């Protein structure tokens, strides 16, 4: 029986699937007090693991021993080069349409990579693990190729001797990173690697549930992550801080800016979280590493963190809303000199591990994802009534 509009209004608010459990996973657990990757708590991983170790945990399923880690890292590094046709396409897009969003360019690059992958249509467990490693390896090269072309420079060849984080920075800048730069990037990649059924991961799983291929699932994930309410929030947070910095240089106080934002209901990015009502576990970790980077490499950039602390204090005082990880991420990447439009693609260089883990999990025990909807339209009507 069809529900009327009035009957539908009486149902609990289900927009955004808020509070609803829609599946099981062994990849990640998220709640108000913990974030765990296959049982390992995020602060423990950030303090003691490398991104390659975390990638192995997510993709292969267990903590690697020294021999397994070397084999995994060496194999992934060996896949970093991208086909000439893909490289040339990225460069052409950068030259012809430099205004194109880097996430759109990266989505196109992954789509092009699918045409050069002999295993693209193979959804077997073995093939999908291999494709996961190849995508993990090639995405930083795609990001770097695009940024170098935007800068009017030739792309550099990926360096197989560097870690995933260090190679990512090398591909973007063409300079071998400081140890602290590589470490800060490594930690940020660990923090961003996985987050259960977030919008982009859920998108990837929905696509996977149709028995589509991994590259298509990842393209969908990139499309979802592009939005400023999801992955693009780190870019938006830094743009907001830049706006506040400009306003204060013109004589306005931070508190005045914030009160005006509250009154006009302006969206303040980098704050709040659907799950973490009492604060994002990852935010403090990345803030500390960002400050450490400033202390060792770029002391002047600490002004952004001072501003961020003031903004955060006002949000807590007046709205009782905590920052999420995107807030310190924006400041940290800015201090490191990373172009703001590349913040979300760098997110992909990390979250590809979580996406692929979920895509493989979905394919291994699949049923097409097809939820029901609450109808909120007109009741039954006759076409000939007028």
Question: Which pair of tokens denotes residue 85?
Answer: 């046709």
Q: Are 271 and 315 in contact (CB under 8 A)?
A: yes
Q: H/E element holding 28?
A: strand 28-30
Q: For 39-48, what is each residue's pLDDT tens digit?
A: 999 999 999 9
Structure confidence at residue 7 (pLDDT): 46
Query: How confident is the model over 217-222, as a mean pLDDT?
Result: 98
Classified as helix, coil or strand, 26 is coil
Residue located via tokens 């604060």: 279
pLDDT in tens, 295-321: 999 999 999 999 999 999 999 999 998
Q: How far apart are CA 186 and CA 350, in angstroms?
A: 9
The distance between the two most distant Cα atoms of the chain, rounded to a whole number of Å, is 76
Q: What is the mean pLDDT of residues 369-377?
A: 89
Higher pLDDT, 229 or 50: 50
Is-contact 285 43, C-beta < 8 A?
yes
Q: How many CB atoms lie within 10 A of CB 101?
A: 15
Contact 168, 147 (CB under 8 A): no
User: How do residues 237-282 score in pLDDT, each as one tens digit?
Assistant: 899 999 999 999 889 999 999 999 999 998 888 887 666 667 788 9
Rounded mean pLDDT, 129-152: 98
Taking CA atoms, 94 is separated from 28, 113, 218, 310, in Å, by: 36, 17, 22, 37
Q: What is the mean pLDDT of residues 88-110?
A: 98
Output the average pLDDT for the chain: 92
| Half-sphere exposure in the Cβ direction for 335 (13 Å, CA) | 32
Q: How far apart are CA 359 and CA 375, in angstroms?
A: 30
Residues forming the active site: 230, 273, 326
User: What's the rounded Cα separation, in Å, for the pair 315 and 257?
Assistant: 12
Residue 88 sits at the vertex; the CA angle it makes with 155 and 167, to the nearest 5 degrees, is 30
Alpha carbon dihedral 375, 207, 330, 40, in 10-degree steps, equals 110
pLDDT band of 22, cuts 50, 70, 90: confident
More confident residue, 8 or 120: 120
Look at the chain and count its residues: 386
Report all structural domains of the chain as residue ranges with CATH numbers, in order of start.
28-226+341-364 (1.10.580.10), 233-335 (1.10.230.10)
Q: How confident is the model over 166-189, as a mean pLDDT? A: 97
Query: Which residue from 378, 369, 377, 379 is spatially nearest to 17, judged by alpha carbons?
Result: 369
Q: With H, G, I as helix, E, B as strand and everything else as coil, classify residue 8.
A: helix
SS3 41: strand
Other CB atoms within 10 A of residue 310 CB: 16
- At 12 the pLDDT is 57
Mean pLDDT lowest for which of 22-26, 146-150, 360-364?
Answer: 22-26
Report the run of H or E that residue 283 belongs to, with start and end.
Answer: helix 281-296
């Amino acid at each position: 029986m069809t529900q009327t509009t009035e009957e539908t209004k009486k149902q609990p608010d289900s927009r955004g699937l808020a509070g609803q459990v829609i599946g099981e996973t062994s990849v990640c657990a998220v709640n108000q007090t913990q974030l765990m990757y296959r049982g390992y708590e995020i602060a423990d991983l950030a303090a003691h693991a490398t991104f390659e170790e975390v990638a192995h945990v997510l993709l292969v399923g267990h903590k690697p021993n020294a021999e397994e880690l070397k084999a995994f890292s060496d194999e992934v590094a060996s896949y970093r080069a991208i086909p000439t046709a893909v490289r040339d396409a990225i460069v052409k897009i950068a030259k012809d349409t430099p205004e194109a969003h880097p996430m759109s360019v990266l989505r196109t690059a992954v789509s092009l990579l699918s045409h050069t992958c002999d295993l693209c249509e193979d959804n077997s467990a073995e093939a999908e693990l291999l494709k996961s490693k190849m995508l993990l390896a090639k995405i930083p090269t795609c990001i770097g190729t695009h940024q170098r072309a935007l800068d009017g420079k030739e792309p550099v060849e990926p360096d197989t001797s560097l870690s995933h984080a260090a190679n990512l920075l090398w591909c973007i800048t063409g300079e071998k990173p400081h140890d602290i730069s590589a470490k800060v990037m490594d930690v940020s990649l660990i923090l961003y690697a996985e987050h259960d059924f977030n919008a982009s991961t859920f998108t990837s799983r929905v696509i996977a549930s149709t028995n589509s291929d991994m590259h298509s699932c990842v393209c969908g994930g990139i499309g979802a992550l592009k939005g400023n309410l999801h992955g693009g929030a780190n870019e938006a947070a830094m743009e907001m801080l830049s706006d506040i910095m400009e306003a204060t240089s013109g004589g306005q106080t931070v508190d005045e800016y914030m009160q005006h934002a509250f009154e006009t209901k302006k969206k303040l990015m980098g704050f709040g979280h659907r799950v973490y009502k009492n604060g994002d576990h990852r935010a403090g970790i990345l803030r500390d590493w960002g400050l450490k980077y400033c202390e060792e490499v770029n002391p002047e950039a600490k002004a952004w963190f001072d501003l961020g602390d003031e903004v955060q204090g006002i949000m807590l005082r007046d709205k009782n809303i905590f920052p999420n990880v995107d807030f310190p991420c924006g400041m940290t990447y800015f201090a490191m000199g990373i172009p703001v439009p590349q913040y979300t693609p760098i997110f992909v260089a990390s979250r590809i591990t979580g996406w692929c883990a979920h895509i493989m999990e979905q394919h291994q025990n699949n049923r097409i994802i097809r939820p029901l909807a609450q109808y909120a339209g007109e009741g039954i009507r006759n076409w000939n009534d007028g």
